[in-house]
């Protein structure tokens, strides 16, 4: 009788262990929000760029390069002229996210930034809600945080890396690096828009303002008038504001 009882208990324990193993395995296979986002992005790119991806596979290639958009050009305004309407912000990149927009499978890179300093506040700030979806992983934003978005990014589909190059006036921002931007804060401060493309974005390295757009009036002015020095620029902006008052 005892033998039968022990066998029954053993069977119960075994079945219970099997159930726990199955439950753990099932839980481990559950998709995370990141998995769902990734699968959605890959699906959009696969559908829209199917021919290019299949052609790359047939040729033994593992990469597809998509050209970036062509900028329409920006006006050559001075810093004083720009600051009549726009702001001057020093930000630090704290996170990035790649998304794919429908219906044209446009690959975008979003940058979550911390606003470290507002050297000059813009005249008006829109409080409208953005007409497009912001990356949910970045939300909610703290009052000191905002987003930048650039065309371009990388998505891997079926072993093929699909690269959308940045637009001709776009920029790649580096994580944990600081930037000074002449910008318009849009949608209640949720989105930073550089007002003169890459010419209005300066990489801050040891308080020195770096830009490759030497032909642009704004970049020349920052270099010639302030020596590309952040502290001198900050003082000059404050002095100009006092004079304006």
Output the six-digit token pair for 36: 């769902």
| Beta carbons of 146 and 113 less than 8 angstroms apart | yes
| Beta carbons of 155 and 106 less than 8 angstroms apart | no
Averaged pLDDT, 110-116: 98
CA dihedral 103, 106, 111, 115 (to 10 degrees): -70
Q: Which residue would you say has higher pLDDT here, 179 or 244?
A: 179
- Residues 207, 212, 214, 217, CA torsion sign: negative
The reported pLDDT for the residue numbered 185 is 93
The reported pLDDT for the residue numbered 242 is 53
The structural domains of the chain, with segments of one domain joined by +, span 79-244
Q: Which fold has domain 79-244?
A: OB fold (Dihydrolipoamide Acetyltransferase, E2P) (2.40.50)
In whole angstroms, what is the distance from residue 118 CA to residue 127 CA?
18
Output the six-digit token pair for 130: 């953005």
Report which of 145, 163, 140 is spatially closest to residue 153, judged by C-alpha positions. 163
| pLDDT one-digit tens code per residue, 209-238 | 999 888 899 999 999 999 999 999 999 998
The reported pLDDT for the residue numbered 73 is 66
The reported pLDDT for the residue numbered 38 is 86
> Taking 60 as the threshold, does the pLDDT of residue 65 lie above it?
yes
| pLDDT one-digit tens code per residue, 139-192 | 999 999 999 999 999 999 999 999 999 988 889 999 999 999 999 999 989 999
Full-prediction pTM beyond 0.85? no
Report which of 90, 88, 118, 113 is spatially closest to residue 179, judged by C-alpha positions. 90
> Taking 50 as the threshold, does the pLDDT of residue 7 lie above it?
no
The reported pLDDT for the residue numbered 243 is 56
């Amino acid at each position: 009788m005892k033998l039968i009882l022990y066998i029954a208990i053993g069977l119960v324990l075994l079945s219970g262990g099997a159930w726990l193993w199955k439950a753990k395995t099932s839980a481990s296979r559950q998709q995370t929000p990141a998995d769902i986002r990734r699968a959605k992005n890959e699906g959009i790119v696969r559908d829209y760029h199917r021919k290019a991806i299949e052609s790359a596979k047939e040729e033994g290639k593992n990469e597809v390069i998509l050209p970036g958009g062509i900028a329409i050009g920006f006006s050559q305004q001075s810093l004083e002229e720009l600051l009549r309407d726009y702001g001057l912000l020093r930000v630090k990149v704290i996170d990035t996210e790649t998304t794919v927009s429908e219906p044209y499978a446009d690959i975008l890179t979003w940058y979550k930034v911390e606003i470290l300093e507002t050297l000059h506040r813009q005249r008006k700030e829109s409080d409208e809600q953005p007409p497009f979806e912001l990356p949910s992983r970045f939300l909610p934003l703290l009052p000191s945080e905002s987003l930048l978005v650039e065309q371009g990014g990388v998505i891997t589909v079926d072993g093929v890396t699909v690269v959308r190059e940045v637009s001709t006036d776009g920029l790649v921002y580096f994580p944990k690096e600081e930037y000074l931007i002449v910008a318009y804060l849009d949608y209640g401060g949720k989105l930073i828009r550089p007002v003169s493309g890459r010419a209005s974005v300066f990489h801050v390295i040891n308080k020195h303002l770096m830009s490759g757009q030497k032909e642009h009036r704004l970049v020349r002015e920052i270099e010639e008038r302030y020596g590309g020095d952040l502290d001198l620029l900050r003082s000059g902006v404050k002095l100009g504001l006092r004079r304006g008052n």
